[in-house]
A and B are shown apart, each in its own frame.
Chain A
Amino acid sequence: MKAPLNWLREYVDIALSPKELAKRLTMSGTEVKGIETIGGWENIVVGQVVAIEPHPHAARLKLATIDLRGECLRSVCGASNLEMGQKVAFARIGAPLIDPQSGEPVRLERAKIRGIASEGMICSERELGISDRHEGIMVLPPDAPLGVPLNDYLGDAIFDLDITPNRPDCLSIIGIAREVAALTGKSVCLPETRYDEPGELIERKVSVEIADPDLCPRYCASLITDVKVAPSPPWMEQRLLACGMRPINNIVDVTNYVMLEYGQPLHAFDYERLAPKRIIVRRAGDESITTLDGVERMLQSDMLVIADGEGPVAIAGVMGGSGSEVTEETTSVLIESANFNSVSIRRTAARLKLRSEASLRFEKGISPELTMLALKRATQLMAELSGGKIARGIIDVYSGKKEAKPIALSTKQVERILGIKIGLEKMMKVLCSLGFDCQTVSTEELSIAIPYWRTDVRLAEDLVEEIARIIGYDELPITLPSGALPQYEADPMRAIRERASDILAGCGIQEVITYSLISLEVSRKVVLNSGLTPLKIANPITTEQEYLRTTLRPGLLEALSANEKHEEGSIRLFEVGKVYLPREGNLPEERQMLAGVLSGPRLDRSWHGEGEVLDFFDVKGVLETLFERLGVEASFEPVNDELFNPGRVARIMLWGEELGIIGELHPRMAEGFDISRPVYLFEINLEKLLPTTIAPRKYRPIPRFPATLRDIALVMDGEVAAKRVQDIIQSFPLVAKVALFDVYTGEQVPQGKKSLAFRILYQSPSRTLTDEEVNKEQERILERLHRELGAALRA
């Protein structure tokens, strides 16, 4: 909403600077986003053309004498619209202007034009920077004050305001003037509307019927005959332009002007083009209408229309129809000022994708009381500007007028919410300044009647806000909540997520956060034959973000791919985030996952030598570190998965359940993401790790008795999984720890066999082991390994 300062001044005295006023408005809830200054002219004054003579050397130029109140100056002028007696904007020598050809700022210099000295210049709108018009000089209204600097007369500051949806009353100049008045301790003065009604009785000319009073609580109309459609006077055009509306003619402009002034949308019909002179406000049938913008629109039965005897002539509160549009030929105008149901208007406008200045106001819920005030104002203005004859009377169909009940408000209620005691008198003063009618009920309570324009105020809390915002939030004290702390509830999921993130970052992996929404195409690249249909967005912004992810893989692979284009060294990324798994008839399961992708050299290239390329065991090492730190013993089992390079993939098991997967991405998959290097990927269901945060850790005493170390090398079939060997050794009671330290295949062992070397730590918590005991235990281990796995001590 734009509000020119000079327009506001018509209703309220403003002594503050525009900047200070903007600050107070902003603080009280009417945010001023910007102030546009119009004018800033220097050395330009209001003058009057008192003589016109021909130029002796040029047929198309004239010599004009301009009275500047007491001082007369001569100017050479070529404008065709120059006339005796005109009030004009006269620039003295040295005045800064806009060059009409280049649009650049220039300074008016003393000049001789065709031999005659010009002592100044009569300006066009373009030269003054007001508009692009340069066909002639700008003609000021006859009442423009002679000799006064143009800046004092025409200069203005236009406030660009952000009106919150609860304040439709502030979508009007008068509404903002009320705010200004309350903030500055002034009062508001509304325009007087009095006029003669020399025409015929309106009821004889037109009838109005409301078929659906729920959707149209009030419909008022007036009629003006014998109008002459013409451009509006400059002052009105300028105000409309300043508020961002295009001037059209003196009829349409008045409806827009009064809408801006009062906040009540109006519509003007060409009375002669309304078939059988009756208006019916009803729901649309199976019909269509061509609106003022020239578009034919199909209507639906829940849309409200204004119809004449033949069909719809306007979509109520949204836009008029072109069939009854006011044109240059129009001679009689029916002015509509009605109130429509806000929800209905909002739905209709949304359905038709047609949001107008009118619908934006109606949908926020404006008062039915406004219709009559605005209609009278419009009728008066329109008759004045168009020379029309006002029909006698006004049609007013108003069913179910609702009186707002007064609200009780006590000083206690105010203190309870604001945390400060505010006296009854102060409360009254603030509320009265906003137009509320306050009655004292007791020394601590008021009964407050709500003015019709404040449709947003319904509760005592609303009144508390009114008091607080006018006094100023900055005036309220600053304290901290004093009550008891709520009972603490642990959040194990957040705890485990943060721990896992810290551990992975510690392992040299960068955290990323990728979009939850992905395209179906990319989702299909990484989720093969799952049968799971991801949740779809009904109104996606792009197809790139149309489905809710069911895995973290695509986002990570895309991030890796994008970074590969500029990263020379390794790329290691992880993400902790949700996947969204649809559930029939319910919100999806939002499962917390942890996934990572790693690619490139193990160590970045340096003088310490060329780094080897990362492999499966680097990534597995990271996960083992994670599990170790979380205190769980997960295991890795070979598995088949099409997404991965065959054989280079393992599923991660914990407590008999699948925790996740780790592997080298199949080159085909990597290529799908435009990745050329080997990529290792892991993905883990974090929810499965939840028990680790719940089970408390138990301390184990540090061993008191010395340990015995033995190294053994075993030869066995190549297919035997190292984990099986290790598990068997580990299962013996005297084995405290076992570590695999060498894997060998080659000449030293037979074809198809391999050698695994383990370091075993024998230790007892209760005594020092003798060599003999250790030897016996080791024999038992070897015997079992041989029996179960065919493993033998390497010679």
Chain B
Amino acid sequence: MIEKLDEIKSNAIDELSSLQSIKELEDWRVRYLGKKSALTQILRGLASRPLEERKAVGASANELKSLLERSHRQKKEALKEKAYQEMEAAAVGKQIISPTGIPSEEKFGIPTVFLGIPDVTLPGRPIPLGRLHPTTQMVREICDIFVALGFQVVEGPEVEWDYYNFEALNIPPDHPARDMWATLWIDTKSGERPMLLRTHTSPMQIRVMERTTPPVRVVVPGKVYRYEATDATHESMFYQIEGLAVDKNITLADLKGTLYEFARRLFGAERKVRFRCDYFPFVEPGVEMAIDCMVCGGTGCRLCSGTGWIEILGAGMVHPAVLRRVNYDPEIYTGFAFGLGLERMSMLRYGVEDIRLFYSNDLRFLRQF
């Protein structure tokens, strides 16, 4: 028995040294370590042997088995290393092989995907690209800023009653301030309540206050419409974001702080901000906010019409008549409101000079955002 083992051992080791490929190595393994190999047979046959023999032969056979297994492992490592070296040598030789014409797995024992040397400067496989509209991106960005300041985002109807768009906002019929909002009216039958396309997001101030009790802190993004001949700076449809905060102890200083924070987050911490008096019928005092011109830095240029400042939004303290309209007691509550044009923010941010680009949906424009 022992002789038999010696013979297996010397044959196996001899053969092993001359093997050249993984395939040959696998045949070798089957021959010497497989289920039908002589060594396996010997080990299986041991059970029926006397104890003495079992001990002696068993020890030697197991020793041989682990030797062969170890040798197999080493040989396999060696063969793979050799294949890697050949692959690397090929690469050093700058053989550029097309992705399909690659050496066989059989030869190297390395999955074919690792072989062949493509021109890595070739373009990748195209994947269709989708993007959000720049206005959507800007709405989200601005809403996120105000959400971080404790505001909630709400939305409302674009087709509105005259009441919400004007009357409840302290702009009765025939008020001269109505000229500030050229209106598109819905064709209704005579005698019906006048209906219009909202000219600003401000009607939502009323709708939100009607259904909630203070404290209120909301921003309202949405489409608005104007009866306006379009040009590079005017559109008949655009987006606004309205803001409203009502509570006890809300002050003009709070308005300044909130909008200052907003401007710095949107346009950068180095921006200067200016607040001046302006008029909107639904606020008192009225405010207009401007930032220092990002093109000229305040010295005056075409973008800022030589003033050094760029108006970005209108705001103010909610008018007591508006608060009374929704049954908020102006002796108890104060609030601030603001409204800004979305496209103007994008135009300033990206240097877009024509507002009409936004909704003409030319892919050459949209792909830039």
Chain A positions near chain B (C-beta within 8 angstroms): 26-29, 31, 33-34, 164-167, 342-343, 346-347, 363-365, 416-420, 459, 461-462, 464-465, 468-469, 473-474, 476-486, 488-489, 491, 493-494, 498, 501-502, 504-517, 535-541, 545, 548, 559, 562-563, 566-567, 570-574, 578, 580, 585, 587-588, 590, 603-604, 606-608
Is B260 an interface residue, CB under 8 A from the partner?
yes
User: Are B360 and A486 in contact, CB atoms less than 8 angstroms apart?
Assistant: no
The answer to whether A29 and B276 have CB atoms under 8 Å apart is yes
* Bound-state Cα–Cα, A26 to B306, Å: 14
From A346, A465, A567, residue with most partner B Cβ within 10 Å: A465
Most buried by B among A164, A420, A468, A482: A164
> Which residues of chain A are near B129, meaning CB under 8 Å?
508, 510
Please name the residue on chain A nearest to B251 by beta carbon: A419
User: In the complex, which residues 252-288 of chain B have their Cβ closer than 8 Å to any Cβ of chain A?
Assistant: 252-254, 256-258, 260-261, 274-279, 281, 284-287
Residue of A27, A364, A539, A562 with most chain B CB atoms under a 10 A cut-off? A539
A165-B177, A494-B153 as given contacts; A482 in contact with B249, CB under 8 Å: yes
- Chain B interface (Cβ < 8 Å from any Cβ of A): 122-123, 125-133, 135-136, 140, 149-150, 152-155, 157-161, 174, 176-177, 179-180, 184-188, 192, 195, 197, 212, 214-218, 223, 225, 227-229, 236-237, 245, 247-254, 256-258, 260-261, 274-279, 281, 284-287, 305-307, 317, 319-320, 334, 358-364, 366-367
Q: In the complex, which of the residues B237, B284, B306, B362 contacts A459, with contact meaning CB atoms closer than 8 Å?
A: B284
Selected contact of B245 from candidates A29, A459, A462, A481, CB within 8 Å: A481
Kindly state the separation between the CA atoms of A466 and B238 in the bound complex, as whole angstroms: 33
B247 touches A481 (CB 8 A): yes
Q: Which of A365, A474, A493 counts the most chain B CB atoms within 10 A?
A: A474
Residue of A165, A480, A606 touching B126 (CB-CB under 8 A) = A606
12 additional A-B pairs beyond A513-B361, A571-B363, beta carbons within 8 Å, are A27-B276, A417-B317, A484-B215, A485-B217, A486-B215, A508-B129, A514-B359, A517-B236, A535-B187, A587-B160, A590-B159, A606-B123
Contact indicator B254/A603 (Cβ below 8 Å): no
- Contact A515 to B132, CB < 8 A, known contacts A26-B276, A165-B279, A465-B286: no
Q: How far is the CA of A474 from the CA of B276 in the complex (A)?
A: 8
Interface centre among B160, B161, B359, B364 (most CB of A within 10 A): B359
How near does chain A come to B285, taking the closest CB pair, in angstroms?
A: 3
**Most-contacted residue by chain A among B186, B225, B362 (CB, 10 A):** B186
A277 to chain B, nearest CB (A): 34
> Top 8 closest A-B pairs, CB basis?
A508-B128, A419-B251, A419-B253, A29-B277, A465-B285, A164-B279, A469-B277, A505-B130
10 CB contacts below 8 A, A to B, read A33-B305, A364-B176, A478-B256, A479-B254, A480-B149, A481-B254, A484-B215, A485-B150, A513-B136, A513-B359
With A416-B251, A479-B257, A541-B228 in contact, is A486–B152 under 8 Å at CB?
yes
| B190: min CB distance to chain A, Å | 11
Known contacts: A165-B279, A363-B176, A474-B274. The answer to whether A480 contacts B360 by CB under 8 A is no
Contact call A417/B285, Cβ cutoff below 8 A? yes
Distance, CA A403 to CA B159, complexed state (A): 42
Q: Closest CB of chain B to A531's CB: distance in Å?
A: 18
Is B161 in contact with A587, judged by CB distance below 8 angstroms? yes
**Nearest CB of A to B243, in Å:** 11
Q: CB < 8 Å: which of A419, A506, A538 contacts B186?
A: A538
Of the listed residues B159, B174, B188, B261, the one surrounded by the most CB atoms of chain A closer than 10 A to its CB is B159
Q: Contacts of A416 on B, CB cut-off 8 Å?
A: 249, 251, 334
